[in-house]
Structures are given as structure tokens and as C-alpha cells.
């Protein structure tokens, strides 16, 4: 019985830590060579956490189906600190990253891939999540 309670508690903590891609929106057109804002939201949790890193990549999905971010990040556009802050009362903490869409990426469907790592809870358990958002490169 204790293991079931522990499993449910761990699952609740893990779900509470999930980040969200705020921008770009799904299906948004991104022009080659243009600057684009990637917004990563990090909802509050009752469990404390320490951010480690976020990685943002882009991969082309023109000739094949988009693969999960956990399998391929594509061309890395940002790798570094993640420090989400409150800016609006109606929004969870977030951070904006301005990236440049590579000129060499083929036009058509592409995917923004995000890997996020943090330490969670009093025992500093490692936490890794991957996110993706399909966009259109023009």
C-alpha cells in the first residue's frame, strides 16, 4: 500500500513540474533568418525546484514525420540558464528566448524542441522533460 501512495505522490510532483511552450503558437509561420521569441512557462508548484538548464532546438519535418524531442533536438539554437519570472498576474512565471531561425532549414513543417532539466524536492531529485511545438518555416 505504501508503494502505491508513494507512486501517486511522485506522479503528482512530476506533473506539477511540467513546463509549457507559450510561444510560438502551434502552426505559426517562422521566416528563415528572422528572430523569433520562444516562451517557456514554468507553473508554480508546492514542491521546490532548482533550475539547471534549458536547451532549444529546431528540426525539419518536411520529408519525414516529426520525431519526439526526446529522440532528436535538431539544430541547437540555445543552451543555457532558465530563470522564469513573473511578469503578469494572469500568467505563470516564464522566460522569453530570442532565437534566429536558421537560413539552411528547409521550408515547410518544422518542430521547436525543448529539453528542460531541474532538481526537484528536498532530496534534489533529477527531473528531465522534453517538449515540442510544430511550426511552419517559410
Mean pLDDT, the chain, rounded, equals 91
Q: Report which of residues 50 and 44 the model is more confident about.
A: 50
- pTM summary value: 0.87
pLDDT score, position 47: 86
Domains of the chain: 2-137 (2.60.40.10)
Is residue 5 predicted with pLDDT exceeding 80?
Answer: no
Residues of 80-94 as b/e, b for ≥16 C-beta within 10 angstroms?
eebebeeeeeeeeeb
pLDDT in tens, 13-25: 444 569 999 999 9
Calculate ∠ Cα 94-99-105, nearest 5°.
Answer: 135
The C-alpha atoms of residue 37 and residue 118 are separated, in whole angstroms, by: 22
pLDDT in tens, 71-128: 999 999 999 999 999 999 999 999 999 999 999 999 999 999 999 999 999 999 999 9
Confidence tier at 46 by pLDDT (50, 70, 90): confident
pLDDT in tens, 53-64: 999 999 999 999
For 4, phi then psi, to 5°, come to -65, -45
pLDDT score, position 10: 47
Q: Is 138 exposed, middle or buried (0-12, 13-18, 19+ CB in 10 A)?
A: exposed
Amino acid at each position: 500500500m505504501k508503494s502505491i501512495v508513494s507512486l501517486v505522490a511522485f506522479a503528482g510532483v512530476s506533473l506539477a513540474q511540467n513546463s509549457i511552450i507559450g510561444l510560438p503558437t502551434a502552426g505559426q509561420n517562422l521566416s528563415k533568418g528572422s528572430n523569433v521569441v520562444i516562451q517557456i512557462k514554468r507553473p508554480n508548484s508546492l514542491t521546490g525546484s532548482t533550475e539547471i538548464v534549458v536547451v532549444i532546438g529546431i528540426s525539419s519535418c518536411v520529408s519525414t514525420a516529426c520525431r519526439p524531442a526526446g529522440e532528436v533536438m535538431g539544430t541547437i539554437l540555445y543552451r543555457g540558464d532558465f530563470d522564469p519570472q513573473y511578469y503578469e498576474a494572469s500568467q505563470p512565471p516564464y522566460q522569453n528566448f530570442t532565437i534566429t531561425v536558421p537560413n539552411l532549414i528547409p521550408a515547410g513543417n518544422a518542430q521547436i524542441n525543448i529539453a528542460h532539466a531541474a532538481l526537484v524536492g528536498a532530496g534534489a531529485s533529477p527531473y528531465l522533460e522534453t517538449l515540442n511545438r510544430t511550426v511552419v518555416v517559410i
